[in-house]
């Protein structure tokens, strides 16, 4: 992984051919100059020995990671702790979101051996918690739902103590797909909303905001024991009132965990950063989310869906247990008042 990817996403002239091949649908778009990132966004290049061990394991098992495909700025830190988010069903996506660095095109056929290789890597890494995500597979009748279920099953068999978080597509126009994934009983069901409804036509044109919210609402209806989670990118042009409304929509859907991080522009052909949100503003949004009743909140410039996912899951589980204890004590408090009145 080069320093350029982690520290500065700006491309040189010799990269233009690579950009065009990776994002053919964006090739005709005018360039959006990439703004210089503020000091609070900058990260160090990866140089820890464990980072290279993790990278080698991914290569040896022929696995794709969203850490690399999405050019995540936290890859050096996470891989140095053996935390890698595996991206199943290939590295080619059928969608063309204007914020995303994953390759767009016609995906290959599913690899039937992939669940076993993913499970093997999870066991070798000794992960307490793993995040499994995927590209959008609109070409498949079930959107890849059965493949998700098979990956979950393989991990349960190879590493039964590992908790599993899935970060799925929206399964738009894929009836029955969500039910297949929920039946496999991941510990956390994550689906990112990404941005506010007003910006969907330009930022996430292949998706539908209310479909994504309903997806997470349906997870809770099917299995209330599964934690639900969703994330937003900030700095795309949203305002505070719109973010507050999205948070309210999330709470109506009983989403447990919200993440918010700064959008970073991968190439000049991607959506431009409208502004860099300050750490102080992120803290303000985090406070707002906590007041609204989320069990867990992560909101910093470098927050990503799977960043510190293992520690966040432990905190999420503790928060639910505390909530259940508080609910359980309420009737006893009331009965005590009745006895003394």
- Euclidean distance between CA atoms 78 and 172, whole angstroms: 31
Kindly tell me if the per-residue pLDDT of 12 is higher than 70.
Answer: no
Sign of torsion over alpha carbons 312, 99, 179, 224: positive
Q: Say which range, 81-90, 105-114, 156-165, 179-188, has the weakest mean pLDDT.
A: 81-90
Sign of torsion over alpha carbons 263, 264, 268, 269: negative
pLDDT of residue 190: 97
Kindly report the pTM of this predicted structure: 0.84
CB of 277 within 8 A of CB of 301? yes
Establish how many alpha carbons lie within 13 A of residue 35's alpha carbon, considering only the half-sphere containing its beta carbon: 14
pLDDT of residue 11: 41
Give the residue carrying structure tokens 């247990």.
321
Kindly tell me if the per-residue pLDDT of 80 is higher than 60.
Answer: yes
Using one digit for the tens of pLDDT, what is the confidence trace for 266-295? 889 899 999 999 999 999 999 999 999 999
CB of 93 within 8 A of CB of 151? no
Q: Order of strands, edge to edge, in the sheet holding 163-167?
A: 86-88, 129-134, 163-167, 188-190, 227-234, 257-262, 296-299
Helix intervals (H) in 159-298:
177-183, 200-203, 209-222, 240-252, 279-291
Beta-bridge mates of residue 297: 258
pLDDT of residue 64: 67
- Report residue 111 as tokens: 């690899």
Confidence of residue 311 (pLDDT cuts 50, 70, 90): confident
CA of 244: how far to CAs of 115, 174, 195, 274, in Å? 39, 30, 12, 19
Helix intervals (H) in 128-239:
145-158, 177-183, 200-203, 209-222
Instruction: Provide the 3-class DSSP secondary structure of residue 117.
Output: helix
Helix intervals (H) in the chain:
3-7, 16-22, 49-60, 66-69, 75-79, 114-125, 145-158, 177-183, 200-203, 209-222, 240-252, 279-291, 309-340
- Euclidean distance between CA atoms 143 and 145, whole angstroms: 6
pLDDT of residue 280: 97
The stretch 247-252 carries a mean pLDDT of 98
Confidence of residue 78 (pLDDT cuts 50, 70, 90): low
pLDDT of residue 43: 67
Beta-bridge mates of residue 133: 87, 167
- Euclidean distance between CA atoms 271 and 289, whole angstroms: 26
Instruction: Provide the 3-class DSSP secondary structure of residue 211.
Output: helix
Q: Give the list of residues 6+ apart from residue 303 with CB closer than 8 angstroms, or none.
A: 231, 259, 260, 261, 282
3-state secondary structure string across 11-34: CCHHHHHHHHHHCHHHCCCCCCCC
pLDDT of residue 83: 65
Using one digit for the tens of pLDDT, what is the confidence trace for 15-56? 555 555 667 777 777 889 888 899 888 766 666 676 667 767
User: Considering the chain, what is the average pLDDT of its residues?
Assistant: 85
């Amino acid at each position: 992984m080069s320093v350029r990817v982690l520290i500065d996403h700006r491309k040189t002239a010799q990269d233009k051919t690579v950009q065009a091949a990776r994002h053919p649908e964006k090739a005709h778009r005018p360039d959006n100059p990439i703004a210089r990132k503020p000091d609070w966004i900058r990260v160090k290049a990866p140089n820890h020995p464990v980072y290279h061990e993790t990278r080698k394991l991914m290569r040896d098992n022929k696995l794709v990671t969203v850490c690399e495909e999405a050019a995540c700025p936290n890859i050096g830190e996470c891989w140095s702790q053996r935390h890698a988010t595996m991206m199943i069903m290939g590295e080619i996506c059928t969608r063309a979101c204007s914020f995303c660095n994953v390759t767009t095109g016609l995906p290959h056929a599913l690899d039937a051996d992939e669940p076993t290789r993913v499970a093997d890597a999870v066991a070798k890494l000794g992960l307490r918690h793993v995040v499994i995500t995927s590209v959008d597979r609109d070409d498949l009748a079930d959107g890849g739902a059965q493949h998700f279920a098979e990956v979950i099953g393989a991990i349960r068999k190879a590493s039964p103590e590992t908790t599993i978080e899935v970060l799925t597509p929206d399964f738009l126009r894929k009836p029955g797909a969500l039910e297949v994934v929920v039946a496999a009983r991941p510990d956390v069901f994550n689906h990112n909303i990404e941005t506010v409804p007003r910006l969907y036509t330009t930022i996430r044109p292949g998706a539908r905001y209310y479909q994504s919210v309903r997806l997470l609402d349906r997870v809770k209806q099917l299995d209330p024991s599964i934690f639900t989670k969703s994330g937003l990118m900030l700095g795309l042009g949203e305002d505070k009132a719109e973010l507050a409304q999205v948070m309210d929509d999330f709470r109506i859907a009983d989403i447990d965990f919200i993440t918010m991080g700064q959008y970073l522009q991968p190439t000049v052909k991607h959506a431009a950063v409208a502004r860099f949100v300050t750490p102080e503003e992120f803290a303000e949004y985090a406070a707002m989310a906590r007041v609204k009743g989320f069990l867990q909140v992560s909101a910093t410039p470098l927050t990503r869906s799977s960043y510190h996912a293992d520690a966040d899951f432990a905190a999420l589980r503790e928060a639910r247990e505390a909530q259940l204890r508080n609910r359980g004590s309420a009737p006893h408090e009331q009965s005590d008042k009745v006895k003394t009145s």
